[in-house]
């Protein structure tokens, strides 16, 4: 089977060369009119083959909108929290007054709306809920990353604004580390491992809304979210860069 990374132009040249050699061999045995007819047929087949490989390659390389950690959380959450009490939505981009915000997961349930920021990290994590940045130490190298609690705060505010009819405290923030990271400081409130998050959600047993209201929330979020597409993601990244540029 040809790989999806084969260059289309190279493929076209190869097919054309094979077609020409086939016609040359046939010309030794067939009259001119049959040669021309067969040439047209082979040429059409060659073009169709190249176009088909190109479209298949594009389909194979279609954008993936979840990283490994997000895909794992989605799979585990769906296995543990099913309909009708729970409804999981992934990769939700919402339009705000000052740009866009992109939420990894939103779990809507009778027991609250969980706004989830997923981190798939390894190594040691040094965290402080009040600091702008946290530190990851991996193989003696240090990396700074944005405090995910603050990162998720914007997401929570966007969802709260959309669900302003829900009771106070119904929208809950959760930062979930799905990788093999080990916290070397006290784990801040609202930060969980994947198994810890599952236990946390299971422990939320106070009913915040009816099943009808859950479905209403799902419909409202589906209507408000932007399309899941590469274009949406690019525009969101550009918006992030603009806002960070203003903050600098």
Q: How many domains does the chain have?
A: 2
> Do 158 and 43 share a structural domain?
no
Is the same domain home to 51 and 117?
A: no
Structural domain ending residue among the three candidates 60, 78, 102:
60
Q: What is the pLDDT, as a whole number, of residue 235?
A: 58
Instruction: Kindly report, residue by residue over 218-230, the tens digit of the pLDDT.
Output: 999 999 998 876 6
Q: Within this chain, do residues 78 and 157 fall inside the same structural domain, yes or no?
A: yes
Cis before 11? omega within 30: no
Q: pLDDT (tens digit, 9 = 90+) per residue, 94-146?
A: 988 888 899 999 999 999 999 999 999 999 999 999 999 999 999 889 999 99
Instruction: Give me the domain span that covers residue 173.
Output: 68-247
**Which has the higher per-residue pLDDT, 10 or 175?**
175
Distance CA 108, CA 88 (A): 6
Same domain, 16 and 126: no
Whether residue 236 sits in one domain with residue 116 = yes
Do 97 and 27 fall within a single domain? no
Residues 6+ apart with CB under 8 A from 124: 136, 137, 138, 181, 182, 183, 184
13 pLDDT above the threshold of 70: no
In the structure encoding, which two tokens stand for residue 76, read together?
Answer: 């585990």
Confidence at residue 196, expressed as pLDDT on a 0 to 100 scale: 97
Asked if 69 contacts 179 with a C-beta cutoff of 8 angstroms, the reply is yes
φ, ψ for residue 164 (rounded to 5)?
-70, -10
Decide if 34 is inside a domain. Answer: yes
- Residue 44's pLDDT band (cuts 50, 70, 90): low
Same structural domain for residues 56 and 133?
no
Does the residue 238 lie in any domain? yes
């Amino acid at each position: 089977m040809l790989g999806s990374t084969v260059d289309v132009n190279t493929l076209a040249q190869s097919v054309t060369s094979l077609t020409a050699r086939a016609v040359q061999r046939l010309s030794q045995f067939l009259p001119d009119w049959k040669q021309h007819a067969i040439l047209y047929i082979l040429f059409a087949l060659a073009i169709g083959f190249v176009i088909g490989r190109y479209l298949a390659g594009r389909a194979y390389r279609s954008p993936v909108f979840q990283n490994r950690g997000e895909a794992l959380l989605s799979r585990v959450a769906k296995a543990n929290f099913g309909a009708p009490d729970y409804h999981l939505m992934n990769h939700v981009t919402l339009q705000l007054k000052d740009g866009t915000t992109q939420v990894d997961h939103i779990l809507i349930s009778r027991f609250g709306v969980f706004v989830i920021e997923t981190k798939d990290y390894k190594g040691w994590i040094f965290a402080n809920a009040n600091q702008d940045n946290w530190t990851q130490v991996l193989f003696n190298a240090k990396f700074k990353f944005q405090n995910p609690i603050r990162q998720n705060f914007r997401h929570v505010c966007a969802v709260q604004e959309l669900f302003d009819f829900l009771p106070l405290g119904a929208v809950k923030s959760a930062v979930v580390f799905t990788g093999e990271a080990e916290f070397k400081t006290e784990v801040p409130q609202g930060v969980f491992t994947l198994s810890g998050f599952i236990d946390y959600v299971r422990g939320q047993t106070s009913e915040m809304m009816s099943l009808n209201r859950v479905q209403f929330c799902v419909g409202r979020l589906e209507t408000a979210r932007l399309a899941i597409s590469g274009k949406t993601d690019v525009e969101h990244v550009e918006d992030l860069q603009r806002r960070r540029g203003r903050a600098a």
